[in-house]
Amino acid sequence: MKYRILGNTNEKLSAIGLGCMSMSSAYGTPDDKESIAALELAIDLGINFWDTADVYGNGVNEELLAPLLKSQRDKIFIATKFGFKSNPGEKGIQFDASPAYIKIAVEKSLKRLGVDEIDLYYAHRIDPNVPVEETVGAMAELVKEGKVRYLGLSEASTTSIKKAHAVHPISALQSEYSVLTRDVEQNVLPLTKELGISFVPFSPLARGLMTNTLDVSTLADGDFRKALPRYQQEYQDNNIRLAQGFAEIAAGKNSTAAQLALAWVLAQGDHIIPIPGTKKRKYLEQNAAAVDLELNTSDMAAIEALLAKYPNTGPRYNDDLNKLVDKD
């Protein structure tokens, strides 16, 4: 495994992290036995950067990681997030990044994870009802109290990042980024580089689309992707052809499509640390090997030409989810 430095710290994180959400929610049926085996393999592979959130399985995902955190604490840099919550009887997505709720959320995460201190604590989104300065100010208090080491934001705009960073150093900014989702390239990526903030792409494989192994028609009823435009019938032909072409480029590099997608993300900047999600050991091992795949200018040009040929990929979020993305 290769390593990259977290923000303006001395923390060495695996250049490929591990997104743990799919182990407990959103993508098919959980398989705890296989997930635990994958977590154990991650340690063996040197993947020390693990990402979870209190909302993943309503706390179940944090609890899943707890036994390994207890026995292998020095080998795992744990990141979790707060803000999303479900209130019985209320419809829609509820989000709360108020100082009062942060105090409650962090204690619950610490207990579920079985740790005294969270390595990286993210606000899962920017709360439109709470000034980001207040949110980060409350998060900074957790650092002073020794409950959190470093702070992060997720899906934040450049305006919010600047305001937050002025209150307390932000070590990581997490947003969706892949060959299909590139909104951050214009403003957010350059800003994180300038401020010394690590950029942590989630869904770097476009939720499976760029692996050339995803059959959208077979997705289970509870699969998160069924609610997203990009995975609907109207974009299916375009995206199948795109994924097939991408796999052909990968084959020319003696790699899988997933490895090519991860290598492309890694090549966009040395401050970028993607966190592909998986609950299967075979995919974890393949993902880890992507750190050794070098792309040249011809490879990059071929990828850009393919994307230009099949542009009708579809929006990444539906209207409800898009409302939660902080915009300048």
- Predicted confidence at residue 9, as pLDDT, reads 97
User: 19-71: per-residue pLDDT in tens?
Assistant: 999 899 766 778 899 999 999 999 999 999 999 999 998 899 999 999 999 99
CATH of the domain at 197: 3.20.20.100
pTM value is: 0.94
- Predicted confidence at residue 139, as pLDDT, reads 98
Output the average pLDDT for the chain: 93
In a domain, 243, yes or no: no
How many angstroms separate the CA atoms of 119 and 326, rounded?
A: 24
In a domain, 250, yes or no: no
Contacts of 284 (CB under 8 A, 6+ apart): 18, 38, 41, 42, 45, 47, 278
Residue 88 has pLDDT above 60, yes or no: no
What residue numbers bound the domain in which 283 lies? 3-205+269-293
User: 95-108: per-residue pLDDT in tens?
Assistant: 999 999 999 999 99
- Predicted confidence at residue 90, as pLDDT, reads 59
Q: Is 56 a catalytic site residue?
A: yes
User: 166-176: per-residue pLDDT in tens?
Assistant: 999 999 999 99
In a domain, 312, yes or no: no
Average pLDDT over residues 130-150: 98
For 30-34, 120-124, 298-302, which range has the lowest pLDDT when averaged over its residues? 30-34
In a domain, 196, yes or no: yes
User: 32-42: per-residue pLDDT in tens?
Assistant: 999 999 999 99
Average pLDDT over residues 144-153: 98
In a domain, 226, yes or no: no
- For the chain, helix, strand, coil in percent to 5 are 50, 15, 40
Instruction: Check if the beta carbon of residue 134 is closer than 8 Å to that of residue 99.
Output: yes
User: 209-263: per-residue pLDDT in tens?
Assistant: 888 888 777 777 777 787 788 888 888 899 999 999 999 999 999 999 999 999 9
Average pLDDT over residues 258-285: 96
Instruction: Check if the beta carbon of residue 52 is closer than 8 Å to that of residue 78.
Output: yes
In a domain, 56, yes or no: yes
Q: Please tell me the total count of domains within the chain.
A: 1
The CA-to-CA distance between both ends of the chain, in Å, stands at 36
Residue 223 backbone class (left: φ over 0; alpha: ψ -120 to 50; beta: rest): beta
In a domain, 258, yes or no: no
- Predicted confidence at residue 288, as pLDDT, reads 97
Contacts of 141 (CB under 8 A, 6+ apart): none
In a domain, 299, yes or no: no
- Predicted confidence at residue 92, as pLDDT, reads 62
Residue 17 has pLDDT above 60, yes or no: yes
Q: Which of 3, 27, 56, 121 is catalytic?
A: 56
